[in-house]
């Protein structure tokens, strides 16, 4: 039997991307090739349910998969698949829900009649023209933590993900080593509540220390850490790593107004968040801080929004990820009175996104002429330790190089084309 062809579709967060990469590797070990949608016999859709818009995108992605004439099976996994399995399976008779992500590769093989051994030799590991991951990226994610014990009033994800749990540190180190063998120069550690990583008495800072000591990875990046997870121990480690731990923290704020934070059931105040941000910048000079902000949360008045906007403007973020509040069934916020008019939420979103654009432009402009450790990726683009995007010369893909960008554009994209390579790591 010849090799089967499978296409991968991701929706949602970095954790989802890391999970889909892991699924792709398992499919390859089954002898299955990762291909474009129009060549596929089966399509895996890793779904998202964080907002109603994400859920709608899930349905559209599954319907689009069902339109491909050569597709025999569609496997839906991820958060929406865990929470709304009957709804998704009703979209097309070929759709099968597999909420256990670890079982997806074997489920696909069985649906294609390949049996346990995949029906052929192991597929080539050279992904997507030199990319490190099956989904075409050069900065692979590694999920080291899953689940959440928090109960934010707007969030439905904990219902899909279950309680917090962490991968043992020795397994994390082994996985990082495998990614390095695949060609990774940077690895992104991901988790639903990454700051609460804990296994065998090892916390997040201890895990990072082990990775630095026991692997040759060029750079490790943290995907997202809640404010309480930004400890002095973590900041010390970032500052002393010589750039091997990216000087970057994505720390969700959600609102800069204490009254809104209280309704959200977020466990900090705006003042406490600001102190955390100030401490991070003092201990790690040049660190990039980005954040998540929700606008239009139930009961958010014009004054509360202005308070949130003002705090965001004062903290010097490198970028804001702005979300309009989405009413999710079964959450405490869904039952709250004073739901905000969608037109008002849209306007607040527009203002916050404009602030994000200004922050990104200002952050990148400050990097012009300064040495930056850039992971050079495909398409003559790269990423600094702080997460800024950089245009690079051809031929550098896959390298980790110190470059001093000579300019940046209005969108905050740096330009290092024609720059002398200061040093390669």
Residue with tokens 């030799």: 121
- pLDDT digit string, tens, across residues 144-191: 999 999 999 999 999 999 999 999 999 999 999 999 998 999 999 999
The C-alpha atoms of residue 349 and residue 343 are separated, in whole angstroms, by 10
Predicted local confidence at residue 133, as pLDDT: 74
Query: If 0-12 CB within 10 Å is exposed, 13-18 middle and 19+ buried, where does residue 259 land?
Result: middle
What is the per-residue pLDDT for 116? 53
How far is the C-alpha of 206 from the C-alpha of 193, rounded, in Å?
16
244's tokens: 């091997």
Neighbours of 390 (CB within 10 A): 25
Tell which residue, 264, 257, 343, has the closest CA to residue 303.
257
- Which tokens sit at 146? 């899953």
Identify whether the C-beta of residue 135 lies closer than 8 Å to the C-beta of residue 20.
Answer: yes
The predicted pLDDT at position 115 comes to: 64
Of 163, 236, 160, nearest to 193 (Cα)? 163
From 415, 282, 411, 279, select the one nearest 356 (Cα to Cα): 411
Q: What was the pLDDT predicted at 121?
A: 42
Q: Are strands 414-415 and 407-408 parallel, antiparallel or unpaired?
A: antiparallel
pLDDT in tens, 281-290: 999 999 999 9
**pLDDT at residue 120, rounded to an integer:** 43
For residue 129, the model assigns a pLDDT of: 39
Q: What is the DSSP letter of 167?
A: -
Regions of the chain with pLDDT less than 70:
1-2, 115-132, 135-136
User: What integer pLDDT is reported at residue 114 of this predicted model?
Assistant: 85
pLDDT at position 128, please? 38
Distance, CA of 35 to CA of 38 (rounded, Å): 8
Give the rounded distance of the alpha carbon of 199 from its chain centre: 22
Are 352 and 181 in contact by the 8 Å Cβ rule? The answer is no
pLDDT of residue 30: 82
Cα–Cα distance, 181 to 411 (Å, whole number): 35
Given this model, what pLDDT does residue 28 score?
A: 87
Q: What pLDDT does residue 425 have?
A: 86
| pTM over cut 0.75 | yes
């Amino acid at each position: 039997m010849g090799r089967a062809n499978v296409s991968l579709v991701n929706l949602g967060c970095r954790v989802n991307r890391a999970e889909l990469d892991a699924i792709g590797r398992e499919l390859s070990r089954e002898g299955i090739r990762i291909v474009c949608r129009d060549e596929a016999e089966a399509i895996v859709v890793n779904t998202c349910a964080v907002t109603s818009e994400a859920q709608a995108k899930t349905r559209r992605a599954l319907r689009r998969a069902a339109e491909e004439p050569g597709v025999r099976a569609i496997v839906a996994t991820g958060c929406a698949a865990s929470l709304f399995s009957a709804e998704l399976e009703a979209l097309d008779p070929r759709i099968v829900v597999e909420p256990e992500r670890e079982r997806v590769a074997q489920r696909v093989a069985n649906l294609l009649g390949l049996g346990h051994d995949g029906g052929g030799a192991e597929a080539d590991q050279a992904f997507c023209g030199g990319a490190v991951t099956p989904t075409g990226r050069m900065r692979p994610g590694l999920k080291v933590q899953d689940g959440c014990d928090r109960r934010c009033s707007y969030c439905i994800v904990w219902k899909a993900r279950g309680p917090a749990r962490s991968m043992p540190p020795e397994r994390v180190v082994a996985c990082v080593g495998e990614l390095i063998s695949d060609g990774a120069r940077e690895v992104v550690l991901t988790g639903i509540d990454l700051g609460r990583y804990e296994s065998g008495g090892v916390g997040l800072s201890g895990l990072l220390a082990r990775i630095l000591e026991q692997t040759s990875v060029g750079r490790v990046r943290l995907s997202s850490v809640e404010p309480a997870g930004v400890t002095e121990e973590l900041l010390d480690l970032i500052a002393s790593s010589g750039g091997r731990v990216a000087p970057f923290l994505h720390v969700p704020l959600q609102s800069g107004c204490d009254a809104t934070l209280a309704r959200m059931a977020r466990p900090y105040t705006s003042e406490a968040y600001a102190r955390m941000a100030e401490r991070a910048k003092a201990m790690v000079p040049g660190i990039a801080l980005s954040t998540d902000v929700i606008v239009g949360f139930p009961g958010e008045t014009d004054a509360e929004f202005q308070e949130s906007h003002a705090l965001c403007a004062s903290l010097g973020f490198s970028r804001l990820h702005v979300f309009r509040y989405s009413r999710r069934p079964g959450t405490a916020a869904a039952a709250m009175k004073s739901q905000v008019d969608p037109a008002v939420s849209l306007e607040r979103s527009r203002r916050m996104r404009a602030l994000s654009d200004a922050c990104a432009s200002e952050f990148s402009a400050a990097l012009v002429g300064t040495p930056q450790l850039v992971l050079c990726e495909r398409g003559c683009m790269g990423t600094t330790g702080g997460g800024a995007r950089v245009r690079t010369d051809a031929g550098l893909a896959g390298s980790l190089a110190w470059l001093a960008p000579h300019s940046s554009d209005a969108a905050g994209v740096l330009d290092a084309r024609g720059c002398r390579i200061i040093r390669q790591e």
